[in-house]
Every structure is written in structure tokens, then in C-alpha cells.
Homo-oligomer: A and B are copies of this chain.
Amino acid sequence: MTDATPSLRPPRRGRPPKAQAQLSRTAIQQAALSVIDAEGIDAVSMRSVSRILGVDAKSLYHYVEDKGDLLDAVAEHVLEQLRPPAATDSIDADLRAWAHEFRRITLAHPQAATLVLTRQLSSTVGLAPVEGILEVLRRTGRGPEEAVHFLRTLLATLIGTLLREASAGPTFGTTDPAGIAERQATLEASGLPQIGLAAPYLARFDRDREFDFTVDLIIRLATTPDVTDQIAD
């Protein structure tokens, strides 16, 4: 109807409907993800998602309970992309592989990171990484209870690190000398002594290096045999 189409189909504007043929939960997940990638998570609405599918907003309710369920579906969809790394004979390497795989799927859709990393998923899709990481942790010789503690610490660190990286946006990196200089100046202007001394390092942020540093640190912890003995008191 935007042009010379004489049909009495529903009017469309902007991008054409992907497929008016078939609606489905998967199609909705993908449409929502495309909205998120293009315009961020705040742009997700029943109406914006349905527009992409060339369908009325209310039609979504046949495949999705409500907006919260739709967002859960997106988070699950992203988590499902996770491919469990094959085990090697190195515990350290295996944990590192899990961490990087987590990072990979998260940064594939950085604007969806909050969703993926903070939604309490009731579904079963979150269990695969838990099983996989527990398996590696058990190889350190620790029992199930201790392994769970380490799993939680490891996941918390991973989530905190990835949330920061994803929400920092592309602005906050090493690749922007002007921005670095500006941030450094602001920090130095604060007058706080430690911040003044550390300003050059606080002002820059090498994503890859920073991730590796934190992951190496936390993994060393998880694989150092006597750590918890010292803490147990």
C-alpha cells in the first residue's frame, strides 16, 4: 500500500513485514532481538515487535503470555546460542573456555546483555552451563557443596564483568584518545589523591585485557587447592 499495491492487505510502513505467512514464538523472539539490536531494549514494545512481523500487536498474545514473557523468551533465545566447550585435560583452560563462550553470546547482542545476565529464568535453558561448569569444578577435587560456592562466585564475577563491558558501549575503550584524555582530566580535577594517581589507568579500558585479567584471577582462585582452608575459620 506504500506504492502501487491495490490489494486490501493491512497497510505497512517503513520496513516490509518479514513474513505475514506464519507467526510463531521463534519469529517473535527474533523480531524482538532485531529491535533490541537496532534501537536498544527500551524500544521493545508489543507494537514495535509486531510491526516488524507485519501483524497487529495483540496477535503476539497467542504465542507469548505478556511483555515479560516476551523478554524472557529473548533471553532464552540468546542463552541457547551457547555451545558448551569440549573438555580438555586442563581445568584452567576449560573454565576459561566457558567464560569466553559466555562472553561471546553476551556480546553478540550487547544491548540485550541486561536481559540475558539478570533475568531470573525459570526455564531449563540456564542449566546447561551450570552442569558444565560444575563438572569442571569437580575435577579440582572439591565436593559438590564447595563446587557450588565457587560456581556462584565465578558466575557473579562473570556477570558483573560482562554487564560493565556491555553497558559501557563502544565509547569507553582504548581506541578513542580524545575521550581518554577528557576522562583523565575530569578525574584529575576531582582533587582526590588516589584517583589523581590512577587517572591514566582509570580513564582507559581495554575490554579484552580487562576480561582476561579478571577471568584469570578468578579461575586461579577456583583451582588453587588450599584457598578455602584458609578461609574456613
Task: Check A174 for interface membership: any CB of B closer than 8 A.
Answer: no
Interface set of A (CB-CB < 8 Å, partner B): 114, 118, 120, 124, 127, 130-131, 134-135, 138, 144-145, 147-149, 152-153, 155-161, 163-164, 167-168, 187, 190, 192-195, 197-198, 200-202, 210, 213-214, 216-218, 220-221, 227-228, 230-231
Cβ contacts under 8 Å, A198 to chain B: 134, 144-145, 147-148
Min CB distance A56 to B, Å, is 25
B120, A168: Cβ atoms closer than 8 Å: yes
A201, B157: Cβ atoms closer than 8 Å: no
A153, B213: Cβ atoms closer than 8 Å: yes
Selected A-B contacts with CB under 8 Å, 27 pairs: A114-B118, A118-B163, A124-B190, A127-B190, A127-B192, A130-B194, A130-B202, A131-B193, A131-B195, A134-B198, A144-B197, A147-B198, A152-B210, A152-B214, A153-B157, A153-B161, A153-B214, A156-B161, A157-B157, A159-B163, A160-B161, A213-B231, A216-B231, A217-B228, A218-B218, A220-B227, A221-B221
